[in-house]
Structure 1
Amino acid sequence: MTTPAEPSAYGVQIDAQPGQARIRLNGDALPANQVTGYVLEHDVAAALPTLVLHTRQPDHVQWQGLARVAVADPAQDDGQVVAAFLQNVDPGALARAALERDDLDGSPNELTVAMLKQLADWAQGRA
């Protein structure tokens, strides 16, 4: 896995009322009653917010896009998600990125700590 490039972004519009939410991505409305929930997260220091959509998946639904839009599967085991992420990590890229971090502290476990921090950064979409 290489360090993620900065993604392009969708224009997002959310009109939320108790019991319903109408969401548009680049002006296109998502089908009525498809979204069962959403989480909008923004780390101000990061470049883009992240919108996670929890959806019903009727037959033949497909998602297309250019931005950081994640479709959550509440039935998916978190351990499987983490394992899949870790299996796609390029060990060489991880070692290089960890050694280039500016928060190395000279402690006996600094490389392990740096690698764990780097993995967390990549998991959150930060370079």
Structure 2
Amino acid sequence: MTVEASLADTPRHVRITTTATGAAVKVDGTDISNALAAYSIEQRAGQPPMVALRLTPAGTLALDGIAHVVVAEPGGLDAATFLASVDPAALHRAALSRDDLDGSPTELTTAVLRQLLEWTTGART
């Protein structure tokens, strides 16, 4: 599955209502709950949340329209989809504000890679 960059780049209105046994998920007012196997939410300070939607194996989804939404391959968000959804300015700010910058010639590249790793795994590197 290929995700167009505009889908990930354009913030969409997302409403998720959870219950003890599941959730109702609406994107731009359209209920997509039956097409989902799972979803995850990630938010960084100063940025809208990113919602990753994992479709059921036979699921299809048409999205029309305040989170960044990424439709992930079954089994996880693939690297190309994730990288297409990254806001370069937000990545730059996050990398430069890390507390593990070391002054080495490769510190910015190292910080960017560590930040991307942190965003994909949720772990502090």
Scaled to the shorter chain, the TM-score interval is 0.5 to 0.7
Out of 105, 119, 123, which is 1:111 matched to?
Answer: 105
Runs of 4+ in 1 over 6 A off after TM superposition: none
Q: Distance in 1 between matches of 2:14 and 2:107?
A: 36
**Count, aligned residues:** 99
User: 1:121 Cα shift?
Assistant: 4.3
SS of the residue 2:34 aligns to: coil
Q: Distance in 2 between matches of 1:57 and 1:114?
A: 39
Match of 2:37 in 1: 36
The percentage of aligned residue pairs carrying the same residue is: 22
SS of the residue 2:12 aligns to: coil
Q: Which has the higher helix share?
A: 2
Q: After superposition, where does 1:2-81 map in structure 2 within 5 Å?
A: 7-30=9-32, 32-43=33-44, 45-58=45-58, 61-64=60-63, 68-75=68-75, 81=78
Question: Per the alignment, do residues 58 and 121 of structure 1 end up closer, same or farther by CA in structure 2, a change over 3 Å counting?
Answer: same
Q: Which runs of 5+ in 1 are unaligned?
A: 1-6, 89-96
Could you give the per-residue CA deviations for residues 36-71 of structure 1, whole angstroms, max 9, x where no partner exists?
22111212x231111111221426x24435652122
- TM-score (norm. length: structure 2): 0.55
